[in-house]
């Protein structure tokens, strides 16, 4: 986000009182002041003073010891996405800090609020290639919303106040504060004031009411309007306003995988999933609408396909909080900059009650064709081979759409997002923009700790699971009730599908010779089961969902099953394939 100036602080009643404490103690107190209840991390030499200070704050802040820094930051992401709070992650210098980078990049592209605190070598050693020294500021700059290196203890309060404010305000994102070891040890006169404003930083653009009226006029005159909604609806807590808007206007609405769960799956105006493996109608009819209303989404390439063939006939309205996303990929007719909740509240006042039954029926006609060609066989296979879809169908039966679904990346992710039913927002947690294999298991841990009263179902493939399976130990240690569903096809399934369709079945380095996952789960003291035949599937799913503890269920599914529909790479959305 670039350089910002010093914060204008909100003065509290005791703002003139100070206390002489260490920098590390200041970090611990600030976390408590900011309402941090759980922090994820992994200790090491350069962050050890902070960990020592946290020892005296265990009643306020639970520290979750991951088994790898990547696990820690993905857990912080899952926690933030499920709870709506800022996720906090701690790591030491050098490899500890660099192991966070994948998760930071993931959080940046998926707008997840994180505060990452890394230790650093003493300021006198900076630039000397000291043991475990690394330029984490330089490395993380492209993938953070803001980052800063603290070299003096007295900088800590202001830096962390700014960090929390930037992370959670406007379009959320990850920030990183790197603190040298001497700054952690040194003393400062401590006073903490939360940051509420930064000069030159405008997290929420001022709503232009004339643009809202322009958008409303286009919507009121549209014959075939179409809404695309993304995670921006969830981040703005605008689910109710969004529902009011589409119900008043009667506009068919489709979701990105990051927007999934903002609207109940079975809502009559919910027409399904956008994107490469989305539903047939939402993709095909993008090129038949006359007004396209994008709300809190960024026209990612997986949604648009070939931009030269994308919605050229439509006038585009874009409701967006981040000015950088306007006209970045798709040219807009009207851009409504602002918070989605505020923008929708105002837009509802100006749109006219309407219905578009004939237009909506075109989506339903596409649904019927997709059901005949794809969904029927996926959910009710006629072969003896188990499908991913029939497993998800049974998950729906026993969760009633109330669970949090956390997925890793691959075929299972697309199937789970396509077929899982949702009745509550903040229920779909997945790695959208970066597509990070290994995300699922630790993110599910974070989600379970953030929302302990909800069931958390983690759907993983045998490839991604093996990237972070060590976090089963963290699940056991925290007693988090994560239910891990491994859909095992003994392949890197999504890559294999592409190799089959576009590389003449040359399966180069995608077949997996897997370990005994049952033994692994038992080694982490987690109840486990394995299904290889349909006759055992429903009973196993029921036990899995209804278990009152963590549980590991492995289901052997078809090795060479493919996920359809599919928009081939380089194709337009209207060129979506059903087979």
Pick the CATH number of 209-363 from 3.40.50.1220, 3.60.40.10, 2.70.98.10, 3.40.50.2300: 3.40.50.1220
Among 494, 499, 517, 566, the one annotated catalytic? 494
Q: Which of 25, 34, 69, 451 is catalytic?
A: 69
Distances (CA, A) of 442 to 203, 242, 350, 375, 469: 30, 31, 44, 30, 8
> Sign of torsion, CA 267 269 272 273?
negative
- Please give the Cα distance from 376 to 247 (Å, whole number): 29
Concerning whether 132 is annotated as a catalytic residue, the answer is: yes
Structure tokens at 265: 């799956």
What is the structure's pLDDT at 9?
44
State pTM to two decimals: 0.95
Classify burial at 14, counting beta carbons within 10 Å of its beta carbon; exposed 0-12, middle 13-18, buried 19 or more: exposed
- Cα–Cα distance measured from residue 536 to residue 313, given in angstroms and rounded to the nearest whole number: 51
Fold matches, 19-190 and 209-363: yes
Tokens of 571: 């194709």
Q: Which residue out of 62, 132, 244, 470 is catalytically annotated?
A: 132
Instruction: State which residues of the chain have pLDDT below 50.
Output: 1-14
Is 315 among the catalytic positions?
no
Residue 3: its pLDDT value, please? 41
Q: Out of 10, 19, 131, 511, pick the active-site residue.
A: 131
pLDDT digits (tens, 9 = 90+) for 228-251: 999 999 999 999 999 999 999 999
CATH architecture for residues 19-190: 3-Layer(aba) Sandwich (3.40)
Please give the pLDDT value at position 426.
Answer: 97
How open is the CA angle 188-113-215, to the nearest 5 degrees? 130
272-304: per-residue pLDDT in tens? 999 999 999 999 999 999 999 999 999 999 999
Residue 131 appears among annotated catalytic residues: yes
- Tokens 């180069």 — which residue? 508
Q: Which of 111, 42, 102 is nearest to 81 (CA)?
A: 111
Contact in structure between 445 and 83 (CB atoms under 8 Å):
no
Cα gap 167→145, rounded to integer Å: 7
Which CATH architecture describes the domain 386-556?
3-Layer(aba) Sandwich (3.40)
Phi, psi at residue 254, to the nearest 5°?
Answer: -120, 155
Residue 16: predicted pLDDT: 59
> Would you list the domain boundaries of the chain?
19-190, 209-363, 386-556
User: Cβ distance 295 to 340 under 8 Å?
Assistant: yes
Rounded Cα distance between 445 and 119, Å, is 24
Both tokens of residue 466? 């093996």
Question: Encoding tokens for residue 516?
Answer: 């005994």
3-state SS, residue 239:
helix
Report the residue count for the chain.
579
């Amino acid at each position: 986000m670039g350089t910002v100036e010093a914060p204008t602080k909100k003065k509290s009643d005791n703002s003139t009182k100070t206390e002489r404490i260490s920098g590390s103690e200041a970090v611990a107190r600030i976390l408590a002041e900011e309402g941090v209840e759980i922090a994820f991390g992994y200790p090491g030499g350069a962050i050890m003073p902070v960990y020592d200070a946290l020892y005296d704050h265990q009643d306020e802040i639970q520290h979750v010891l991951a088994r790898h820094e990547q696990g820690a930051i993905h857990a912080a992401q899952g926690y933030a996405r499920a709870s709506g709070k800022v996720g906090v992650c701690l790591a030491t210098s050098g490899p500890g800090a660099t192991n966070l980078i994948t998760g930071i990049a993931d959080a940046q592209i998926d707008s997840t609020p994180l505060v990452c605190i890394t230790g650093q070598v003493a300021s006198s050693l900076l630039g000397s290639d000291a043991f475990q020294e690394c330029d984490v500021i330089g490395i993380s700059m492209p993938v953070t919303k803001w980052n800063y290196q603290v070299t003096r203890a007295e900088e800590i309060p202001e830096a962390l106040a700014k960090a929390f404010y930037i992370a959670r305000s406007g379009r959320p994102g990850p920030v990183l504060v790197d603190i040298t070891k001497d700054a952690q040890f040194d003393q400062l006169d401590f006073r903490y004031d939360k940051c509420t404003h930064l000069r030159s930083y405008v997290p929420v653009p001022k709503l232009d009411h004339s643009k809202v009226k322009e958008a409303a006029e286009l919507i009121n005159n549209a014959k075939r309007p179409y809404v695309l909604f993304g995670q921006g609806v969830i981040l703005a807590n605008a689910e109710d306003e969004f529902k009011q808007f589409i119900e008043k206007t009667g506009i068919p609405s489709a979701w990105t995988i990051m927007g999934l769960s903002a609207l109940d799956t079975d809502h009559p105006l919910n027409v399904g999933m956008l994107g490469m493996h989305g539903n047939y109608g939402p993709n095909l009819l993008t090129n038949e609408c006359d007004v396209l209303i994008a709300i809190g989404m960024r026209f990612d390439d997986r949604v648009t396909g070939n931009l030269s063939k994308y919605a050229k006939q439509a006038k585009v309205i874009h409701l967006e909080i981040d000015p950088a996303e306007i006209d970045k990929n798709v040219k807009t007719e009207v851009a409504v900059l602002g918070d989605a909740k505020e923008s929708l509240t105002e837009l509802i006042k100006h749109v006219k009650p309407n219905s578009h039954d004939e237009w909506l029926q075109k989506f339903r006609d596409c649904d019927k064709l997709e059901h005949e060609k794809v969904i029927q066989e996926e959910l009710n296979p006629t072969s003896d081979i188990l499908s991913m879809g029939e497993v998800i169908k049974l998950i729906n039966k026993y969760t009633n759409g109330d669970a949090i679904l956390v997925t890793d990346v691959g075929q299972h992710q697309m199937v789970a997002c396509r077929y899982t039913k949702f009745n509550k927002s903040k229920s779909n947690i997945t790695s959208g923009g970066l597509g990070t294999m290994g995300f699922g298991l630790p993110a599910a841990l974070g989600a379970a700790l953030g929302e302990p009263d909800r069931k958390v179902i983690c759907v993983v493939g045998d490839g991604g699971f093996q990237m972070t399976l060590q976090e089963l130990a963290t699940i056991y240690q925290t007693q988090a009730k994560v239910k891990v569903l491994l859909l095992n096809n003994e392949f890197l399934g999504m890559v294999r599908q592409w190799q089959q369709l576009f590389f003449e079945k040359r399966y180069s380095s995608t077949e997996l010779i897997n370990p005994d996952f049952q033994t692994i789960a038992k080694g982490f003291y987690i109840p486990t089961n394995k299904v290889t035949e349909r006759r055992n599937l429903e009973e196993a799913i029921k036990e899995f969902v209804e278990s009152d503890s963590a549980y590991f269920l492995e289901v052997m599914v078809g090795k060479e099953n493919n996920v359809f529909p599919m928009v081939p790479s380089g194709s337009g959305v209207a060129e979506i394939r059903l087979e």
